[in-house]
Structure 1
Amino acid sequence: MALILLLETTTINCSVALAEDDKVIAIKEDKTPGYSHAEKLHLFMEAVLAEGQKELLDLDAVAVSKGPGSYTGLRIGVSAAKGLCYALNIPLIAVDTLTSIAHQYQSLNFSSGYVIPVLDARKMEVYTSVFELKGGALTPLSNVEAKIIDENSYAELKANRLFVGDGVQKIEDEILDQENSIFVQSLPSTQEMAKIAFDKYKISDTEDVAYFEPFYLKDFVIKKKKKA
């Protein structure tokens, strides 16, 4: 049995879980606006280990949501994961954030069609990709991209569509073609990471701890203060 610590810090949700194989046995989250990750991430790690009656030395791997998402959140989560893996000499598993969000279809009773995870980016942009759900299998149809939303976005997708993520409001407010569409405002969570991480663990799909970097998708931009 594999014991995997899961970390999700790409949005305002500071989420930590402990999983035995693909089953979450303890989870701790804080979705308070303002990003509490730096203060709470390690406290949450201690909490889920205590709840699961495990210790750090019991861990077989650490999985981290790799992005895209908040630059600062990604740095905090990935730095913590790399530090643990290096100190414990265990594998690092990277989970694509949009793939993780797409797996929320399971708790939303969505059975077939397109699953479109959307994370809020700048202005009218979202980080997004498209998956097709057919026969219980989720298949990626596009690469992750930073997409500017307009009235014709996603018009080519004619079947049932599930939009899920914290960028959903931009989609719902902007696009004209909303037929056969479901909009669910949500945040990525470690709850959906467990199966993805365990599947990667089984085939040794792991990262080089020394060289792994988050998937930012876009360069970090420092905003200059306006002159008085």
Structure 2
Amino acid sequence: MSTLITIETSTPVCSCALSRDGEILINKENYEGRSHASLVGLFVSEIMEYVRKQHIQVDAIAVSRGPGSYTGLRIGVSEAKGLSYGLDIPLIAISTAHVMASMMKEKADENTLLCPMIDARRMEVYATFFDKSLKVIRTTSADIVERGSYNDMLDKQQIIFFGNGAEKCRSVITHPNALFFDGIYPLASAMVPLAETSFTEKSFVDVAYFEPFYLKEFVATIPRNKVINVKS
């Protein structure tokens, strides 16, 4: 038997789950965004209270490794590392794109590709391409989406685009083989089957040295109302 805590904070949705042998015991989700710092701690606290009351032994922590929101990833990974270190149990890291693709694989047939897209500001997205078996066809890349993007692949097969990055690309990617699904976000509950596989295979990461997959480094911007013009 394996009992896992999964944490997902790579997009505006914050979620945590507790599972035992693939069965969800507790699932906490919030879709409001921008509250990850307070929410993930609250969700984990509620899960740990249940764990203590039920005398449950947690076997591993799984966290979404990115790509995604720089701040969100840091919050989730910091929480996961703290739990892993404090409970002295292994840490599992799972690709955010893999989580999203696993949520949509039943929508694809043998000739359809899955493309989870994560918003990366303006018309840029973090895009990965999978086949129905979740084999990576093209690794994650930061793409600037414009008319004609992905036409070389779309000419050959249908592609399902989804995720908060895909929502802003619908009006640009107009190829007849492009299909769009709205409202698909990576969730801690969807991480469970992938985390179970990693646990069985003992595919763990080093708690001390693990860092999220940011793809691009964070660039801080100065709000306009904070800029002071000095006249000579």
Same fold by TM-score, threshold 0.5 exceeded?
yes
Residues 70-119 of structure 1 show CA distances to partners (whole Å, capped at 9, x for unaligned) of 1111111101100111111100000100110111115x643441010000
Separation (CA, whole Å) in 2 of partners of 1:146 and 1:130:
12
Q: Which has the larger radius of gyration?
A: 2
CA RMSD of aligned residues (A): 2.0
TM-score (norm 2): 0.89
Distance in 2, matches of 1:79 and 1:142, equals: 29
Instruction: Indicate how the Cα distance of structure 1 residues 54 and 2 shifts in structure 2: closer, same or farther if over 3 A, else same.
Output: farther
1:28 counterpart letter in structure 2: K
Q: Go from structure 1 to structure 2 and tell me whether the alpha carbon gap of 1:183 and 1:15 turns closer, same or farther (over 3 Å shift).
A: same
* 1:3-82 alignment runs, 5 A limit: 3-33=3-33, 35-49=34-48, 58-82=57-81
Which deviations, in whole Å up to 9, do the C-alpha atoms of 1:171-198 show, x marking residues without a partner? 2111131335233332111121011111
Q: How far apart in 1 are the matches of 2:58 and 2:11?
A: 25
Tell me the residue number matched to 1:84.
83
Aligned mates of 1:63, 1:118 — CA distance in 2: 21
Q: Distance in 1 between matches of 2:53 and 2:9?
A: 22
1:140 maps to which residue? 136
8 A contact 1:168–1:185 mirrored in 2? no
Query: How has the CA–CA distance of structure 1 residues 98 and 128 changed in structure 2, closer, same or farther, with 3 Å as cutoff?
Result: same
**Residue matched to 1:178:** 176
In 2, Cα distance between equivalents of 1:66 and 1:142: 18
More divergent stretch after superposition (217-226 vs 142-151) = 217-226
Contact 1:6-1:190 within 8 A present in 2 as well: yes
CA contact (8 A) 2:157 2:177 kept: no
Distance 1:56 1:32, change over 3 A: farther
Q: Which runs of 5+ in 2 are unaligned?
A: none
> 2:146 pairs with 132, 146, 150, which one?
150
Preserved CA contact (<8 Å) 2:98 2:134: no
> Using a 3 Å threshold, how does the CA distance of structure 1 residues 200 and 76 change in structure 2: closer, same or farther?
same
Q: Please tell me whether the aligned partners of residues 91 and 207 of structure 1 are also in contact (alpha carbons under 8 angstroms).
A: yes
Assess, with a 3 A threshold, how the Cα gap between structure 1 residues 52 and 225 changes in structure 2: closer, same or farther.
closer
1:115 partner SS: strand
2:164 is matched with 166
**Which stretch shows the higher mean deviation, 179-188 or 214-223?**
179-188
Q: 1:175 to 1:58 in 2, by over 3 A?
A: same
5+ residue gaps, structure 1: none
